[in-house]
């Protein structure tokens, strides 16, 4: 018996074994000895991860899928977490472990999964995941492009992102309406920012809220001094700023007022 796909859980089961294997092979196995797969379903990806020299954990919200995994992957049973990934405290389950995250998970929670990963980056050195193609491209995009935005900057501040490959709807059951894309993120060696992180997030979000405007006007709400507003960086639009430029911009605004 296989699991019947449930729409409300975003279930699109991968039926192409070689794609499943390719996703599993995207793990570099560098710098961690545990991996957590989000949304294993019937384990199409899981079985290839289990072949690797690494401790595999899975988190699955669907009772029926959990029962399927328990009967088909006996060795995995103690490391199946039947929970909502978005709701668990990763520290509680994995404490001081370094943990890779992998998965073909639902599109409708994929951005939240990404943000949870960024939040927990001290314990997550690597992440490989399937997204709606456009979202995957946006995460990996560099400055100077229309699709470069909040997701790109906030992710790339902490991770090197690589767009690996595109996956067509036909390899899923049931097929989704859109193409998918797989990305891999590897945590940067130095992933602590030299500025206040919350403020950095605020600057990036505020700037992209009005992406066609010059920073001088989109960042007005941050009460910049007249002197700072003369800095040429404020004549730029957010999509022209690299991640480093955003960090420097944040530092400038943080220091605004000092010496005035």
Give, as one character, the DSSP assignment of residue 246.
H
Residues 32-91 that bind ligand SAH (CB under 6 A): 38-41, 44-45, 59-62, 65, 84-86
Q: For residue 97, what are its two tokens?
A: 């472990």
Which residues does 24 contact at the CB level (< 8 Å), separation at least 6?
Answer: 45, 48, 49, 51, 52, 102
Chain residue whose CB lies nearest ligand SAH: 39
Q: How many CA atoms lie within 13 A of 181 on its CB side?
A: 16
Contact stretch for ligand SAH (CB under 6 A) within 3-11, 119-127, 158-166, 231-239: 3-11
Q: Does 99 bind ligand SAH (CB under 6 A)?
A: no
Nearer to ligand SAH, 45 or 154 (CB): 45
Q: Does 125 bind ligand SAH (CB under 6 A)?
A: no
Q: Does 176 bind ligand SAH (CB under 6 A)?
A: no
55-59/34-38 β-pairing: parallel
Q: How far is the CB of 52 from ligand SAH (least distance, A)?
A: 16
User: Read out DSSP for 65-87?
Assistant: HHHHHHHH-GGGGGGEE-S-GGG
- Token pair 């992209």 is found at 208
Q: How far is the CB of 21 from ligand SAH (least distance, A)?
A: 12
Q: How far is the CB of 14 from ligand SAH (least distance, A)?
A: 4
By CB atoms closer than 10 A (0-12, 13-18, 19+), residue 5 is middle
Q: How far is the CB of 137 from ligand SAH (least distance, A)?
A: 20
93, 38 in Cβ contact below 8 A?
Answer: no
Q: Does 106 bind ligand SAH (CB under 6 A)?
A: yes
Q: Report how far residue 196's alpha carbon sits from residue 102's, in angstroms, rounded to the nearest whole number.
A: 29
Pick the closest to residue 143 from 227, 211, 192 (CA basis): 211
83, 59 in Cβ contact below 8 A?
Answer: yes
Size of the site for ligand SAH (CB under 6 A): 24
Q: How far is the CB of 238 from ligand SAH (least distance, A)?
A: 31
Q: Does 104 bind ligand SAH (CB under 6 A)?
A: yes
Q: Does 167 bind ligand SAH (CB under 6 A)?
A: no
Nearer to ligand SAH, 69 or 195 (CB): 69
Q: Does 12 bind ligand SAH (CB under 6 A)?
A: yes
180-187/13-14 β-pairing: unpaired
Which spans of this chain sit near ligand SAH (rule: CB under 6 A)?
9-14, 38-41, 44-45, 59-62, 65, 84-86, 104-106, 109
């Amino acid at each position: 018996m296989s699991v019947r796909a449930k729409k409300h859980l975003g279930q699109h089961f991968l039926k192409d074994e070689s794609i499943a294997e390719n996703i599993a092979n995207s793990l570099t196995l560098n710098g961690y000895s545990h991996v957590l797969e989000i949304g294993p379903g019937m384990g199409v990806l899981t079985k290839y991860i289990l072949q690797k020299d690494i401790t595999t954990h899975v988190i699955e919200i669907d009772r029926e899928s959990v029962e399927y995994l328990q009967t088909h992957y006996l060795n995995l049973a103690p490391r199946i977490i039947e929970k909502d990934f978005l709701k668990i405290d990763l520290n509680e389950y994995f404490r001081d472990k370094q943990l890779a995250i992998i998965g073909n998970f639902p599109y409708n929670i994929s951005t939240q999964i990404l943000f949870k990963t960024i939040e927990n980056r001290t314990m997550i050195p690597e992440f490989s995941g399937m997204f709606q193609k456009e979202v995957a491209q946006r995460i990996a995009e560099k400055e100077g492009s229309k699709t470069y935005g909040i997701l790109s900057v906030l992710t790339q501040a902490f991770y090197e992102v690589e767009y690996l490959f595109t996956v067509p709807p036909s390899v899923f059951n049931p097929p989704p309406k859109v193409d998918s894309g797989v990305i891999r993120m590897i945590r940067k060696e130095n992933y602590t920012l030299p500025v206040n992180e919350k403020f950095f997030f605020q600057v990036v979000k505020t700037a992209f809220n009005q992406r066609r405007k010059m920073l001088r006007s989109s960042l007005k709400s941050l009460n910049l001094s007249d002197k700072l507003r003369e800095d040429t960086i404020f004549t730029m639009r957010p999509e022209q700023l690299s991640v480093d430029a955003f960090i420097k911009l944040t530092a400038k605004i943080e220091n605004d007022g000092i010496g005035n």
